[in-house]
Chains A and B, each alone.
Chain A
């Protein structure tokens, strides 16, 4: 008798657990959208790279000479390099497995804005034939400044706290980029068409925040139920300088 009760209880417990595992809705929600602007964005000047002849030579050899990337616009009044991320409501953050690579190529940072998670390995490389110095300027994390002449090994780093860190090269003062260090694993960066997409969201309510280096942050709330795609668009009111 006792054995039967124990067996029944065990079966129920087993099924319950199985149900929980199977029954948990998949994290398959998608939030996507587009970043657009109204108003007149500042015009990005062509960079004067005359102080680094190798970079200047390349710059002049391409159809659209390298410009500053503070505000990068695309067709249809869209904005590129806007970081969109889950700022509240994160339910299933994953630990990063891959390293983020940050390159210095023809006196530009590639990518201009690099997004990474707290403690995610960051590898900085120099593809140029001249020296750069990598100078991240955090206020919460520790600031450092390292030289990277051509042909030297990658600089490996990580950031312990969430922060938006400006990066510069003192030798080439036009070089300016960002390390965006987030606690969430759900983020995206808007492409040349202003579009972005965040995948793998568990059902629930989220705050989605967009960040543009010159125009600041704005947030919207969205509720994702199961396997659906929600659209969240952000519009920046931009002004020329």
Chain B
């Protein structure tokens, strides 16, 4: 009887040990597996300082599923992102290449840029808005994602591009913008009517070779990097690094950039914009004088 009891106790003890041994690594492993390459980082956003140590815990809680324990965008959910359906893969933080920046192409974004991107999310992708997290938590997360690349130690963020006050959105400005859309050959990807169906649209890929779609202006959703005219200005002047969208900052002057913004607004058929109202009135009377945009246009 005694031996039997002892055996039972031994068995239970062993089972208990196995359970704890089996259960513990489930948590421990995830934590250990987060692989960062720099020392602690800080972020500075609007007088608020974020730090990477608490950021690490939030990353594990909210971000690891898609962006992965190594920050390379290969989290366990990533494989379900169908890029052929237009869903971009999660950002690979180890490369420190970011689309939505206020800084020139080839430079690191500011902390504020990363904070803004995280806050607004990326429309048409699986990245949601993170407004439910307090600004402090978001700032901590910004600090933490910088620990995935040594580029944050060796380089400084770029200097945000200067955006002068908007010029009047009159018909002359729109027409000049239309000419730029033709001559800069925006239509090659975005299509002559801005529907994202230009001759080069179907073969576009991002840096990782995944299929990616140009923005379709006609549906009028938010842009990937914002919603205002200033955001639009910033998008084509800085380019979206890591994507096929190049920078036009060396090619056009601020006045011309505003012209282009004003024309692009007329392509958003689902929105009522002042530019669109102006344009519709012009087309009603002068429509026949307009040369079509595209291969046959004046730029070819």
The answer to whether B246 and A146 touch across the interface, beta carbons within 8 angstroms, is: yes
Range of interface residues on A (Cβ < 8 Å): 20 to 34
Q: Which residues of A contact B241 (CB under 8 A)?
A: 143-145
A146 & B250 in contact (Cβ 8 Å cutoff): yes
Q: How far apart are A180's CB and chain B's nearest CB, in angstroms?
A: 19
How far apart sit A131 and B180, CA to CA, in the bound complex (Å)? 12
Q: How far is the CB of B205 from chain A (nearest CB, A)?
A: 7
The answer to whether B107 and A170 have CB atoms under 8 Å apart is: no
Chain B residue contacts of A144, Cβ below 8 A: 105-106, 239, 241, 247
Q: Which residues of A contact B185 (CB under 8 A)?
A: 130-131, 149, 171
A147 vs B180: C-alpha distance in the bound complex, in angstroms? 13
Question: Are the CB atoms of B189 and A130 closer together than 8 Å?
Answer: no
B246 x A145 contact (CB < 8 A): yes
Chain A's closest residue to B240 (CB) is A145
A152 near B: Cβ within 8 Å?
yes
Are B155 and A142 in contact (CB-based, < 8 A)? yes
Q: Which residue of A lies closest to B106 (CB)?
A: A144
**Which B-chain residue is minimally distant from A134 (CB atoms)?**
B246
Given that A51-B200, A172-B200 are contacting pairs, would A146 and B247 also be in contact in the complex, using a CB cutoff of 8 Å? Answer: yes
Which residue of chain A lies nearest to B184 when distances are taken between CB atoms in the complex?
Answer: A149
Question: Which one, A54, A135, A139, A150, contacts B246 given CB within 8 A?
Answer: A135
CA separation between A137 and B105, bound complex, in Å? 12
Chain B 229-256 residues near chain A, CB threshold 8 A = 239-248, 250-251
> Smallest CB-CB separation from B200: which chain A residue?
A171
Q: Mark B206-243, 1 if CB is under 8 A from A, else 0.
A: 01000000000000000000000000000000011111
Q: Which of B203, B247, B300 is A147 in contact with, Cβ under 8 Å?
A: B247
Number of inter-chain CB pairs below 8 Å: 82
Beta-carbon contact of A143 and B244 below 8 Å: no
Contact with A along B111-133 (1 / 0, CB 8 A): 00000000000000000000000
Q: Is there an interface contact between B203 and A173, defined as CB atoms closer than 8 Å?
A: yes
Chain B residues with a Cβ closer than 8 Å to the other chain, count: 33
A87 within 8 A of B: no
B213 → A minimal CB distance (Å):
12
For the residues of B in contact with A, the DSSP-based class is: loop
A131 contact set on B, CB distance < 8 A: 184-185, 188
Chain A residues within 8 Å of B247, by CB: 144-147
B88 CB-CB contact with A under 8 Å: no
Q: Are B242 and A173 in contact (CB under 8 A)?
A: no
**What are the residues of chain A within 8 A of B41 when measuring CB–CB?**
none
A146 to B247, CA, bound (A): 5
Q: With A130-B185, A171-B188 as known contacts, state yes or no: A147 contacts B95, CB within 8 Å.
A: no
Check A17 for interface membership: any CB of B closer than 8 A. no
Most buried by B among A144, A149, A170: A170
Known contacts A137-B207, A146-B247, A147-B184; A129/B300 CB under 8 A: yes
Interface residues of A in 166-217 (CB under 8 A from B): 170-173
Query: B199 touching A51 by the CB < 8 A rule?
Result: yes
What chain A residues lie within 8 Å of B155 (beta carbons)? 142
Q: Is A219 an interface residue (CB 8 A)?
A: no
- Residue among B95, B97, B199, B246 facing the most chain A CB atoms (10 A cut-off): B246
- Cβ of A162 < 8 Å from any Cβ of B? no
- Shortest CB-to-CB span from B199 to chain A, Å, is 5
A2 to chain B, nearest CB (A): 57
Measured CB to CB, the closest approach of chain B to A36, in angstroms, equals 31
Interface string of B281-300 (1 = CB under 8 A from A): 00000000000000100011
A235 within 8 A of B: no
7 contacts between A and B (CB under 8 A): A53-B295, A133-B246, A145-B245, A148-B251, A149-B183, A173-B200, A173-B204
Residues of B within 8 A of A (CB): 95, 97, 105-107, 151, 155, 183-185, 188-189, 199-200, 203-205, 207, 239-248, 250-251, 295, 299-300
Beyond A131-B188, A171-B200, 20 additional contacts (C-beta under 8 Å) are A51-B199, A53-B295, A54-B300, A129-B300, A130-B300, A143-B95, A143-B242, A145-B241, A145-B243, A145-B244, A145-B247, A147-B239, A147-B246, A147-B248, A148-B251, A149-B184, A150-B299, A153-B250, A170-B200, A171-B188
